Structure 1
Amino acid sequence: MTAVGVAGQSAEQDFSSRLLESSQTLSYDPITEIDWDGPLPEDQYGLSPEWSTLYGTPLWDELTEQQRVTLTRHEVCSMMSTGIWFEMILQQMILRDQYVKNPANSEFQFALTEIADECRHSIMFARICQKLEVPAYLPSKLVVELARGFKTLATGEVAYGGTLVAEEVLDVVQRDFMRDDRVLDVVQTSSKIHVVEESRHMKFAREEIKEHVQGKSKLQRHFSAALIAVVAYVIVSSLVSPKVYDSIGMDRKRAAAAVRDNEHRKSLMRNGCAGLMEFLDEAGLLTRPAIALYKRVHMI
C-alpha cells in the first residue's frame, strides 16, 4: 500500500474515532429522557404547524383549530413511520457494508454504534405513535417492494447517499420541532435526541460517500447520482401519507391537490435542503437527471 493510501486510512480511522468518542459523551436513552406518562395537552400540535402539508393553503384556513392539531399529530406519526421503515433499510445496508471487516477498526465500531442508535430511534418513534394512538402510515406496496431490491443491492456511495438523504430531510424538519413550544413535549424531546445523534450519522455518511466516489468514472458517478435522486424522490414523496387526511374527514384528492400547489412548503424544503445539495454537487453527484428529480420534490 502506498504512503498516501496508509495516510488516508489513518485519517478515516481518526475521524471514526472522534465520532465514537462523541457517541460516548453525547447520547440519550429515550426510555428515560422522554416523559412517557405525561399528558398530551389538547391544544398542542404534533409538529410545527408551518411544516404541515396544508399550511399556507386555503384548506388550512378552513380547518378548525382542533382539526389542525389532529392533522399535525397524524402527519408527524406518518413521518416517524416512514423513518422507522427507512432506518430498518439502512441498518441492513450498513451491516452488509461492514460484513467481515476488521472489528478493531473504529469505522467498524462506529457503524455498529449507528445501528444501535437507529434501533433506539425506531423504538422511540414507535412508542410515540402508540402514545398518540395514531395508526402506522407505511409507504405504498410498490415502494415497499422496490425498497427490498434497493436494500439488497445498494452499495458504496449509493447506499450511504440514500442514507444521507433520508437523515438530512428528517433533520431539516426536526430542528424546528425541537425548539417549538407549540409542539407536544414527546415530539420536542424525541426531535432533540434524533437531531443530536443523527448529526454523527450524517457526518459518517458524508465521509463514506467521499471515500467511495474516489476513482469512480464519470459514467459510474452519473449512475450513482441518478439512483440517489430516485431514493430521495421516493422518501420525500412517502414522508406524509395521503391517508392522514382521513383523520380530519377531508377528501384525499382535494388535499393532495392543495399540497401540490403549496408554495410555502416547497420553499421550506428548498431552503432546508440547500446544504445537502451543495455537498452532493461537491461530490460529483448532482447531475442534470438528478437535479430534475430533486426539483420534482422541491429539494432544489
Structure 2
Amino acid sequence: MSPTLPADGTEFRALLDRLSDKATADYYNPYTAFDWPPELPAGEFWMSPELLTVHGTELMDELPPDRLRALSRWESVHFYSLNVHGIRELLIEVMRRVHTPGFEVPSEFFHHFIGEENDHMWFFATFCLKYGGKIYPDKTLRLPEPARDPRVENFLVFARILVFEQIVDHYNVHLAADDRLHPTIRHLNRLHHQDESRHIAFGRRLVRLLWEQLAEAGVDEATRRAAGDYIGRYVTASVESFYQPGVYRDAGIPDGFALRRRLLGHPARQAAHARVLHKTTDFLTRIGVLDDGR
C-alpha cells in the first residue's frame, strides 16, 4: 500500500505545485554551470576547518598546517564521495515509486527531483575524479532493517532520504558561505543547497504524512517503534560515516582506525554531531519518530 493524500490533498498539492514551479524557475544546465579549473590550490583549505572531523580536539592544534590542509582536501573529496553514493541510493528508491499506485500526486515533482539529483551526482563525481583522482568507496554501515510491510518500507525510504539531505545541507550552507574556500567549491555547494532546500521541504511533508498514516492504517505500535528505532540508528550511522580511516591515511595521519575510534568518543565531536543533526532530530522527535532525549 502506498500513501494517500490527507482529506482532499489541497495543501499537499499546493506545496508540490510551488516546489515544481520553483524548480523550473531555478533550472540550470550543470554541464555549463561550472568553469572547472585544471587544479585547486593544494595550499588552501578545501573544507572549512570548523567542519573537519578533528575540529575541537587536540589534533586540531597538534597537526602541522600542511597536514591540516591535506586533511581538508581529502575530507572534501570524501564528503562529495558520500554524496555520490547517497544520491545513487535515493535515485534508485524514488525511481521505483514514480508513477506507481499511490504516488500519482507527487510523481510530477519526482521528475524534478530525479533530474536534479542526477545532476548533483554528476558534479560531485566530477569534483572527486578531477581533484582527488578517485571516488572513495562506500563504507557506510548497513543496518539490518525491521520486518515491515510496504507502508513501513515507504516511510523508511523517505525518512532515510530526508536524514541524508538535511545532514548534507548543513555542510552545504557553511561551505557556500566560507570565503576562505575556492570559488568552485563555494559555487558547487551553493547550487546544491538551492536544490536541496526544495527537496527537504518536500521530504519533511511526505515523511510526516507517511508516519501519520502508519497509525491511521492500524500498523501496531511495536512495528512503528521498531521503525523509529531503525531511523535513530540510521541518523547515528550517517554522521559517523564522515570518519573515514582511508581519508586519514591519504592525509598522512597514521593508524586511521584508532583515530576514528578516538574521535567518535571525543566530547567535542559529540557536540559537533548534535549541531549537525539538530534540525533532523528536532523534526523527527516533534512528529513522534524519535523519542524525546534520543
Q: TM exceeds 0.5? A: yes
Kindly state the Cα deviation for residue 154 of structure 1 after the two structures are TM-superposed: 7.0
Q: Which has the higher helix share?
A: 1
Residue identity matched to 1:285: V
* 2:213 corresponds to 1:210: no
The equivalent residue for 1:89 is 89
Residue identity matched to 1:133: G
Measured in 2, the distance between the counterparts of 1:6 and 1:215 equals: 9
Kindly state the Cα deviation for residue 195 of structure 1 after the two structures are TM-superposed: 0.8
The equivalent residue for 1:242 is 245
Maintained 8 Å contact 2:243/2:260? no
The equivalent residue for 2:193 is 195
Measured in 1, the distance between the counterparts of 2:186 and 2:210 equals: 35
Q: TM-score, normalised by structure 1?
A: 0.84
Q: TM-score, normalised by structure 2?
A: 0.85
Gaps of 5+ in 1: 292-300
The equivalent residue for 1:139 is 138
Residue identity matched to 1:161: A
User: Could you say what the CA RMSD is over the residues aligned between the two structures, in angstroms?
Assistant: 2.9
Measured in 1, the distance between the counterparts of 2:243 and 2:192 equals: 18
Residue identity matched to 1:268: A
Gaps of 5+ in 2: 216-220
Say if 1:118 and 1:259 are closer, same or farther in 2 by CA, change over 3 A: same
Q: Which region of structure 1 is more displaced relative to structure 2, 40-49 or 160-169?
A: 40-49
The equivalent residue for 2:235 is 232
Q: Could you report, residue by residue, the CA deviation over 1:239-279 in whole angstroms, capped at 9, with x for unpaired residues?
A: 34211011232111442244224433332321232222221
Measured in 2, the distance between the counterparts of 1:227 and 1:145 equals: 8
The equivalent residue for 1:296 is none
2:169 to 164, 168, 171: 171
Kindly state the Cα deviation for residue 102 of structure 1 after the two structures are TM-superposed: 8.3
Say if 1:134 and 1:51 are closer, same or farther in 2 by CA, change over 3 A: farther
Maintained 8 Å contact 1:74/1:247? yes
Measured in 1, the distance between the counterparts of 2:159 and 2:57 equals: 33
Measured in 2, the distance between the counterparts of 1:5 and 1:44 equals: 50
The equivalent residue for 1:78 is 78
Measured in 2, the distance between the counterparts of 1:274 and 1:31 equals: 34
Q: Could you report, residue by residue, the CA deviation over 1:20-47 in whole angstroms, capped at 9, with x for unpaired residues?
A: 0010112333332222036522332111
Kindly state the Cα deviation for residue 58 of structure 1 after the two structures are TM-superposed: 2.3
Residues 126-165 of structure 1 aligned to structure 2 (within 5 Å): 126-140=125-139, 143=141, 155-165=153-163
Maintained 8 Å contact 2:162/2:203? yes
Residues 102-121 of structure 1 aligned to structure 2 (within 5 Å): 107-121=106-120
1:256 to 257, 260, 271: 260
The alignment of Structure 1 onto Structure 2 pairs a total of residues equal to 283
Maintained 8 Å contact 1:46/1:72? yes
DSSP-derived class of the 1:273 partner:
helix
The equivalent residue for 1:284 is 288
Kindly state the Cα deviation for residue 186 of structure 1 after the two structures are TM-superposed: 2.0
